[in-house]
Amino acid sequence: MIEFDKVTHSYGGGELLSDITLRLTKGSFHFLTGPSGAGKTTFLKLCYGELFASSGSVRVGGMPLRDLDRDSIARIRRTIGVVHQDCQFLDHLPLDENIALPMTVAGFEDMRHSDDLKDLMSWVGLSKQASALPPQLSGGERQRAALARAVMMDPDVILADEPTGNIDWEMSMRLLQLLVELNRMGKTIVIATHDLNLIRTAKAQVAARVLRIKDRRVQLAGADL
């Protein structure tokens, strides 16, 4: 699904990630952990072509991202849903239009009243907030809306960057359960987080593997979390 082959990425004149070789297989569930500034967000950006490796190769579906043209990269990105840490929305648009935005940008007709969108908003528990503007939402509602937007195009892979960083434990568990459900549907899940309690809780529900960034390398963590 996503393969790193001897990938190194430099930033600001120095190496941030070094000599990474790993494979994220279809339907797998991974946590990515490490201290702030270790390169978790950079790793995720390398996965979907927001950044390109300084050396080595990142392949998605067998295709090396660096060798693809802009249109091909755009097609690849439609297979990968990203939940960004800062949950940016267009504040002048109601929530349902924000969630449907990936379909609008891709050229589909107005999705606001479609059954698929209604089902998706019901799944994340936001049916009653469909007409609300983003500034009216709580932190937990924004995170669930971000997840809904990320899966609007039915991607094969979900990448989530610190999705529970600004919400309470109860809402974190609700969001985690949604991600576990997506994994059970066959989606590949990668969650970047520093929350070890979240990881321990998830490992009781799903066969999650933990990747740890240490000394610029990405290593498979042991059972001592």
pLDDT tens, residue by residue, 61-98: 888 998 888 889 888 988 999 999 888 899 999 999 99
pLDDT digits (tens, 9 = 90+) for 141-160: 999 999 999 999 999 999 99
Contacts of 21 (CB under 8 A, 6+ apart): 4, 5, 6, 7
Mean per-residue pLDDT, 2-11: 93
Alpha-carbon distance of 186 to 50, in angstroms, equals: 24
CATH superfamily of 1-79+156-225: P-loop containing nucleotide triphosphate hydrolases (3.40.50.300)
Per-residue model confidence (pLDDT) at position 111:
64
**Closest by Cα among 105, 123, 112, 221 to 177:** 123
Instruction: Categorize the per-residue pLDDT at 134 as very low, low, confident or very high, splitting at 50, 70 and 90.
Output: very high
